[in-house]
Amino acid sequence: MSDTTLDGLAVQLRRDILEMLYRCQSGHPGGSLSVLEILMALYYKTMKTDPSNPQWEDRDRLVLSKGHGCPALYAILANKGFYPREDLWNLRQLGSHLQGHPDMAKTPGVDANTGSLGQGASIAVGMALAAKYKKASYRVFAVLGDGELQEGQIWEAAMSAAHYKLDNLTFILDHNGLQIDGSNDEVMGLGNVMDKFAAFGFECFDVDGHDIDAIAAALAAPVSGKPRFVRCRTIKGRAVSFMENNAGWHGKPMNAQEFESAMKELGGKQNG
Amino acid sequence: MAESKSLRVAYGEALAELGAVNDKVVVLDADLAHATMTSLFQAKHPERFFNFGLAEANMMGAAAGMSHSGLIPFVSTFALFGTGRAYEQIRNSIAYVNANVKFGLSHSGLSVGEDGGSHQSVEDIALMRVVPNMTIFVPCDSAETRKAVFAAAEIDGPVYIRVARPVVETFTGPDTPFFPGKANLLREGRDVCIVATGLMVKEALTAAGSLAGKGIRAAVLNVHTIKPFDSETVLAAANRCDAVVSVEEHSVIGGLGSAVAETLAGQSAATFRRLGIQDRFGQSGKPADLFKAYGLTPAHIEEACLKLLGKNI
Ligand SMILES: Cc1ncc(C[n+]2csc(CCOP(=O)(O)OP(=O)(O)O)c2C)c(N)n1
Ligand SMILES: [Mg+2]
């Protein structure tokens, strides 16, 4: 797929995300919009997956450790054909396979349950270790939030990833600078995350997190003998001006006017 | 029309009020101050509010250290992340030494709604009930939440206050008694006794009203303190009736239903049924849809009472 097509697709996926969230009047717009290009780089450029066979053994695995960003993942999985796009409109409803947070037992294409922050990185470590043991060639990616990095378990995962030299494992950081109660700096300063992951033994990359090619390049660079860390500089609420860089839009439902103005600003085709 | 208010708002307001009369009270949160409503305390007493970020285990340990230093920490996050993720810090750093730490944990039970099973704690009461030295309050409305906060501050030792998210009618008053460890008989009845806690108390009263229309006298007992458990009152109420139904927004294993069963076993001839979450996880949905799907509506309570009494429905 050419990159102009991906830019156009990003607009359509953002429309889907907002429509899903507007319809269910709950969920997390800010972190879904910031993580979109990261997931697009993974699903349209980097990862081997097979929508007709979600459980394919040799597929690459994704753990969306910041599970509340799942509307972005759900929109992509629908677009790739893991399930019909109409399913998106049942997000968070009783009986829907699209739960408020990712559920591998319910949603085709979801590789791990997340939502309780801090746990996904360890699950990814386990998958990467299993691949090494099985001599399988698949790669494992964990997408983390910056607030999520405050969980001690993340650093236990990082320590074990380096210890076991998991060069089939990548941690990708959605570094939007915000969490719920404010900025990372106000709530609990993270210090220099590049230095921290380097000190933990990772090969580190620093990219514009809304540049799909740059993200894909960092994911493709050869790394051996150590795990990879890609810091993606992102904007929370990306592409909807009243949400951008505003912690208040972490988990707030849109009213009708807000939804309309957001969709107008995004442009693109009317959703069918 | 009675006032409606979320229990979590009542929790935040009560904390702010308590802070004004007790300068030993400090509040800790884990990046959820605007959800647990400790932000109301933070606004009034910023020098005594500590945000630990997404680091519940560390926060719990720090609360232990603060209590060892003479402060009275109230620790808040979602019920699952407090009682679950930081369980062993609560057990070893806090309860083991009877440290004076209070946990005001919100978003308990199915009523969290759309966030789904990963966020709905349906086992938190069980986890806290097995820990020695623990006191457990499960308030039923905003007025009772306020009383639970002030009562917790008077107790020397760990106290868990289970706080729910939805906005609900405040149906108890400022003068409704709240004695820790003493269940409240809200309605007299000689046929069946409905033992309820938390948001289910109101549903039990509604069911009892409907049963009255069918000539069945249902007592309603509000067990706001799950631990220490008021076996005496529960047993006395059970022995005045033919049947007992417990109802809670929690697993039937380890919570109110278990406590009632432990009390009735060998001591009461009443038939007994536990309503609650039947050993399964929650899922996404609107709270009202979930209550229906998991059998926690007044109609379900009524049906259980009728069945136990052998009435055809
Ligand atoms: C263990 C745990 N604690 C608290 C929460 C509630 N919570 C959901 S999202 C969030 C903030 C996350 O911030 P960040 O990781 O920066 O996410 P993003 O900005 O990408 O949305 C919190 C505290 C949770 N889901 N899990
Ligand atoms: Mg963030």
The DSSP bridge partners found for residue B247 are B196, B275
Same CATH topology for B4-169 and B184-308?
yes
How far, in Å, CA of B242 to CA of B264, rounded?
Answer: 12
What is the Cβ-side half-sphere exposure of residue A113, based on CA atoms within 13 angstroms? Answer: 12
Q: Is the pLDDT of residue B285 over 90?
A: yes
Query: What tens digit of pLDDT does each residue of B62-92 get?
Result: 999 999 999 999 999 999 999 999 999 999 9
Q: What's the pTM?
A: 0.97
Q: Is B32 touching ligand 1 by the criterion CB < 6 Å? A: yes
- Please check whether residue A111 lies inside any domain of the structure: yes
* CATH number, domain containing residue A97: 3.40.50.970
Instruction: Provide mean pLDDT across the span B16-25.
Output: 98
Say whether A148 and B54 touch across the interface (CB within 8 A): yes
Q: What is B184-308's CATH number, 3.30.70.120, 3.10.400.10, 3.40.50.920, 3.10.520.10?
A: 3.40.50.920
- Output the average pLDDT for chain B: 97
Reading chain A (272 residues) residue by residue, the pLDDT tens digits are 556 799 999 999 999 999 999 999 999 999 999 999 999 999 999 999 999 999 999 999 999 999 999 999 999 999 999 999 999 999 999 999 999 999 999 999 999 999 999 999 999 999 999 999 999 999 999 999 999 999 999 999 999 999 999 999 999 999 999 999 999 999 999 999 999 999 999 999 999 999 999 999 999 999 999 999 999 999 999 999 999 999 999 999 999 999 999 999 999 887 65
For residues A247 and A183, the answer to whether their CB atoms sit within 8 Å is: yes
- Please check whether residue A39 lies inside any domain of the structure: yes
How far, in Å, CA of A28 to CA of A69, rounded?
Answer: 7
Whether a cis peptide bond, with omega within 30° of 0, leads into B228 is: yes
Closest C-alpha to B153, from B40, B27, B38: B27
The DSSP bridge partners found for residue B225 are B137
Q: Is the pLDDT of residue B168 over 90?
A: yes
For the CA of A117, the nearest ligand: 1
ipTM for the complex shown: 0.95
Q: Which residues fall inside 5 Å of ion ligand 2, going by CB?
A: A 145-147, 176, 178
Q: Nearest C-alpha of chain A: how many angstroms from B118?
A: 6
Q: Does domain B4-169 have CATH number 3.40.309.10?
A: no
CA of A157 to the centre of ligand 2 (A): 19
Q: Is the pLDDT of residue B234 over 70?
A: yes
For A143-166, give one letter per residue: b (16+ CB within 10 A) or e: bbbbbbbbbebbbebbebbbeeeb
Neighbours of B267 (CB within 10 A): 12
The DSSP bridge partners found for residue B51 are B29
Neighbours of B175 (CB within 10 A): 7
Angle between helices B231-239 and B256-264 (to 10 degrees): 70
B56 has catalytic annotation: yes
Q: Which residues of B touch A (CB under 8 A)?
A: 29, 31-35, 39, 51-55, 57-58, 80-81, 84-85, 113-119, 283-286, 289-290, 293
Closest C-alpha to B227, from B267, B197, B189, B207: B197
For residues A194 and A231, the answer to whether their CB atoms sit within 8 Å is: yes
Say whether A101 and B115 touch across the interface (CB within 8 A): yes
- Please check whether residue A49 lies inside any domain of the structure: yes
Closest C-alpha to B81, from A158, A101, A143, A151: A151
For residues B186 and B201, the answer to whether their CB atoms sit within 8 Å is: yes
CA of A70 to the centre of ligand 2 (A): 14
The pLDDT score that the predictor gives to residue B41 is 98
Choose among A99, A147, A188: nearest Cβ to B283: A99
How far, in Å, CA of A58 to CA of B4, rounded?
Answer: 54
The pLDDT score that the predictor gives to residue B163 is 98
The pLDDT score that the predictor gives to residue B72 is 98
Q: Is the pLDDT of residue B313 over 80?
A: no
Query: Among A122, A148, A153, A249, which is best to mutate for testing ligand 1, by the most ligand atoms less than 8 A from CB?
Result: A148
Q: Is A179 touching ligand 1 by the criterion CB < 6 Å? A: yes
Q: Which of B13, B56, B144, B249 is catalytic?
A: B56
Query: Taking CB atoms and an 8 Å cutoff, what residues of chain B touch A100?
Result: 114-116, 118-119, 284
Query: Taking CB atoms and an 8 Å cutoff, what residues of chain B touch A67?
Result: 118
**In terms of DSSP bridges, do strands A228-233 and A203-208 run parallel, antiparallel, or are they unpaired?**
parallel
Choose among A26, A113, A147: nearest Cβ to B54: A147
Q: Is B81 touching ligand 1 by the criterion CB < 6 Å? A: yes
- Please check whether residue A156 lies inside any domain of the structure: yes
Q: Is A30 touching ligand 1 by the criterion CB < 6 Å? A: yes
Say whether B116 and A103 touch across the interface (CB within 8 A): yes
Q: Which atom of ligand 1 is nearest to the CA of A145?
A: 15
**Which domain covers residue A190, as residue numbers?**
3-265
Q: Is A144 touching ligand 1 by the criterion CB < 6 Å? A: no
How far, in Å, CA of B259 to CA of B247, rounded?
Answer: 12
Q: Is A175 touching ligand 1 by the criterion CB < 6 Å? A: no
Residue ranges of alpha helices (H) inside chain A are 3-24, 29-41, 70-80, 120-134, 152-163, 184-188, 193-199, 212-220, 256-266
Closest C-alpha to B169, from B149, B199, B147: B199
Angle between helices A120-134 and A152-163 (to 10 degrees): 20
For residues B261 and B288, the answer to whether their CB atoms sit within 8 Å is: no
CA of A70 to the centre of ligand 1 (A): 12
The pLDDT score that the predictor gives to residue B311 is 86
Q: Environment class of residue B303 by beta-carbon count within 10 Å: exposed (0-12), middle (13-18) or buried (19+)?
A: middle
Q: Which residue has the tokens 């407090």?
A: B82
How far, in Å, CA of B180 to CA of B148, rounded?
Answer: 8
User: Looking at the 3D structure of chain A, how many domains does it have?
Assistant: 1
What is the Cβ-side half-sphere exposure of residue A270, based on CA atoms within 13 angstroms? Answer: 1
Q: Is the pLDDT of residue B312 over 80?
A: no
Q: Which atom of ligand 1 is nearest to the CA of B85?
A: 1
Q: Which residue has the tokens 């990862």?
A: A47
Residue B230 tokens, joined: 């008021």
Query: Among A66, A119, A174, A245, which is best to mutate for testing ligand 1, by the most ligand atoms less than 8 A from CB?
Result: A66
How far, in Å, CA of B59 to CA of B53, rounded?
Answer: 9
Say whether A116 and B119 touch across the interface (CB within 8 A): yes
Say whether B283 and A92 touch across the interface (CB within 8 A): no
Query: Among A68, A184, A186, A252, which is best to mutate for testing ligand 1, by the most ligand atoms less than 8 A from CB?
Result: A68
Say whether A94 and B58 touch across the interface (CB within 8 A): no
Quick one: closest CA in A to B293, which residue? Answer: A94
Closest C-alpha to B243, from B283, B310, B191: B191
The pLDDT score that the predictor gives to residue A268 is 85
How far, in Å, CA of B144 to CA of B181, rounded?
Answer: 14
Which region, left, alpha or beta, applies to residue B209 given φ > 0 means left and ψ of -120 to 50 means alpha? alpha
- Please check whether residue A270 lies inside any domain of the structure: no
Q: Which residue ranges make up each domain of chain B?
A: 4-169, 184-308
- Please check whether residue A119 lies inside any domain of the structure: yes
> Confidence class of residue B57 from pLDDT cuts 50, 70 and 90?
very high
- Please check whether residue A35 lies inside any domain of the structure: yes
The pLDDT score that the predictor gives to residue B1 is 55
Residue A74 tokens, joined: 């759900």
Closest C-alpha to B55, from A147, A171, A28: A147
For A216-263, the three-class secondary structure string (H helix, E strand, C coil) is HHHHHCCCCCCCEEEEEECCCCCCCCCCCCCHHHCCCCCCHHHHHHHH
> By alpha-carbon position, which residue is closest to atom 16 of ligand 1?
A147
The CA radius of gyration of chain A, in Å to the nearest whole number, is 17
CA of B15 to the centre of ligand 2 (A): 28
Residue A82 tokens, joined: 């893991």
Q: Nearest C-alpha of chain A: how many angstroms from B286?
A: 7
- Please check whether residue A271 lies inside any domain of the structure: no
The pLDDT score that the predictor gives to residue B5 is 97
The DSSP bridge partners found for residue B282 are none
Residue B48 tokens, joined: 């005594």
